[in-house]
Amino acid sequence: MKDIIILGIETSCDETSAAVVKNGRHVISNIISSQVDLHKKYGGVVPEIASRKHVELILPVINQALEEAGIKADQVDAIGVTYGPGLVGALLVGLSAAKALAFALDKPLVGVHHIAGHISANYLENKELEPPYICLVVSGGHSEIVHVKDYNTFETLGQTRDDAAGEAFDKIARALGLGYPGGPLIDKTARTGNSSAVNFPRVHFNDGSLDFSFSGLKTAVLNYLNTLEQKNESFSIGDVAASFQQAVVDILVENTIKAAKSTGIKNIALAGGVAANSLLRAQMKAAATENGFNMYYPSPVLCTDNAAMIACAAYYEFIRGKTSDLTLNAIPGLKLGEN
Ligand code: KG4
Ligand code: ZN
């Protein structure tokens, strides 16, 4: 059978990325140009700056991905691109580049849902993983438990009712003066502290839902810090980071295991930037093993935004004949399952 080569493009937030993936699962190149240093001084992503930087970087990044893969643009079988959800100005840059290439090269265009991309990152290194499985998707903008029924069929079983897990990590890191992006800094700082030093709240809903809520936890941590500050008392940054991280991870693991048990599905996967968290990976693995489930996760570089995951998701759309036309537009609030 002839190999299918997909060029993937991702610009939904602050990473400009292009990748070449063979037959959906084999990464040939994956170039990720992060703008983190640019946004750091503002404590978060500034959409206008992100769009401008994407414009500057998109063509060099695509060229580098093709060069590293040792192929010419006209050797790709299709072009996969994130068209939502994300920052509209940022999405438009990658989408316009993808449409222009598809038109100029007369190649099929495949629009990809960003979260479907994150989920697909699991296929790149776990060659044996196939649907169905339960995937916990936790990123800067999303926290949801997804039943991956097939490569292109998703059912959301639970989701955050307020902040995303990554957003909570970023806000608490800022309050602790750790910097941006907060997730990796909390992960690192937590190793120096005691995770049972402060008992922060874990929100459970009594309607049996698998939803999450992190805003109460965030407020509890901020109140804790403010109270100590007013009393002029010192605290251990390590203890607060570790106790906060433990509260987030406990609830993420608990609800994911519950979802697997209630559906009778034996495979669990992690996806999204927060899936790079070392405690989440270890605790989910332990809970999965204890309950007889298999556990999968991508390596950290494939957890955060990258185009290889987009090319992988595009492959599974492309082989079932689903392509997009050149009227494809960016949809900032695109829902999973709508694409
Ligand atoms: O998936 P992603 O790169 O972008 C979105 O689609 O949102 O996720 C970024 C989020 C940020 O909130 C970042 O703080 C978080 O993932 N993150 C982590 C870790 N690495 C990245 N959170 C916790 N622990 C980590 N090691
Ligand atoms: Zn993402």
**Tokens describing residue 84:** 């939502």
Ligand 2 centre to CA of 11 (Å) is: 10
Rounded to the nearest angstrom, the distance between the alpha carbon of 106 and the centre of ligand 1 is 36
**Long-range interactions of 258-264: CB distance < 8 A, separation 24+:** 258/210, 259/134, 259/145, 259/147, 259/157, 259/158, 259/210, 260/134, 260/288, 260/291, 260/293, 261/291, 263/134, 263/147, 263/157
Instruction: Return the pLDDT at 284.
Output: 98
Q: How far is CA 11 from CA 1, 53, 183, 337, in A?
A: 32, 10, 20, 20
Residue to mutate (ligand 1; options 178, 277, 304; most atoms within 8 A of CB): 304
Please report the pLDDT score of residue 78 as a whole number: 98
Residue 337 belongs to a domain: no
C-alpha to C-alpha distance for 139 and 125, rounded to whole angstroms = 20
* Cβ atoms < 10 Å from Cβ of 180: 18
Domain count, the chain: 2
Domain contains 249: yes
Alpha-carbon Rg for the chain, nearest whole angstrom, is: 20
Quote the domain boundaries for residue 14. 5-121+303-318
Ligand having the closest approach to the CA of 10: 2
Kindly state whether residues 222 and 181 are assigned to the same domain.
Answer: yes
Q: From ligand 2's centre to the CA of 290, what distance in Å?
A: 30
User: Which residue puts its alpha carbon closest to atom 1 of ligand 1?
Assistant: 273
Residue 332 inside a domain? The answer is no
Asked whether residue 245 is domain-assigned, the answer is: yes
Same domain, 84 and 146: no
Q: Which atom of ligand 1 is nearest to the CA of 182?
A: 14
What whole-number distance in Å separates Cα of residue 297 and Cα of residue 270?
Answer: 5
Q: Which of 112, 102, 111, 77 is CA-nearest to residue 1?
A: 77
Find the CATH number of the domain harbouring 231.
Answer: 3.30.420.40
Which ligand approaches the C-alpha of residue 139 most closely?
1
Residues 214 and 250 in one domain: yes
Q: Looking at the CA of residue 181, tell me the nearest atom of ligand 1.
A: 14
**Are residues 115 and 183 located together in one domain of the fold?**
no
190/258 same-domain check: yes
273 CA → ligand 1 middle, Å: 3
Domain assignment present for 65:
yes
Cα 58 from Cα 93, distance rounded (Å): 8
Token pair belonging to 300: 């950290």
Residue 35: inside a domain: yes
Residues 50 and 140 in one domain: no
Cα–Cα distance measured from residue 6 to residue 19, given in angstroms and rounded to the nearest whole number: 8
> What pLDDT, on a 0 to 100 scale, did the predictor assign at position 38?
85
> How many angstroms is it from 229 CA to the middle of ligand 2?
35
Ligand 1 binding site (Cβ under 6 Å of any ligand atom): 13, 139-141, 166, 169-170, 181-184, 187, 272-274, 276-277, 304-305
Place of tokens 């050797």: 75
The answer to whether residue 135 sits within a structural domain is: yes
Rounded to 10°, the helix 182-190/237-263 angle is 110
Task: Tell whether 338 is covered by a domain.
Answer: no
Token duo for residue 50: 């992100």
Asked whether residue 158 falls in the same domain as residue 234, the answer is yes
Per-residue pLDDT of the chain in tens (339 residues, 90 and over written 9): 899 999 999 999 999 999 999 999 999 999 999 888 888 888 888 899 999 999 999 999 999 999 999 999 999 999 999 999 999 999 999 999 999 999 999 999 999 999 999 999 999 999 999 999 999 999 999 999 999 999 999 999 999 999 999 999 999 999 999 998 899 999 999 999 999 999 999 999 989 899 999 999 999 999 999 999 999 999 999 999 999 999 999 999 999 999 999 999 999 999 999 999 999 999 999 999 999 999 999 999 999 999 999 999 999 999 999 999 999 999 999 999 754
Based on the fold, state whether residues 288 and 154 are members of the same structural domain: yes
Are 68 and 11 part of one and the same domain? yes
- C-alpha distances in angstroms, 115 versus 41, 49, 73? 27, 23, 26
Together in a domain, 93 and 204: no
On whether both 84 and 217 belong to a single domain, the answer is no
Q: Which residue has its alpha carbon closest to ligand 1 atom 8?
A: 273
Tell me which residue of 175, 156, 165, 123 sits closest to 280, measured CA to CA. 165
Tell me: do 108 and 139 sit in the same domain.
no
The ligand 1 atom at the shortest distance from the C-alpha of residue 305 is 3
276 alpha carbon, closest ligand: 1
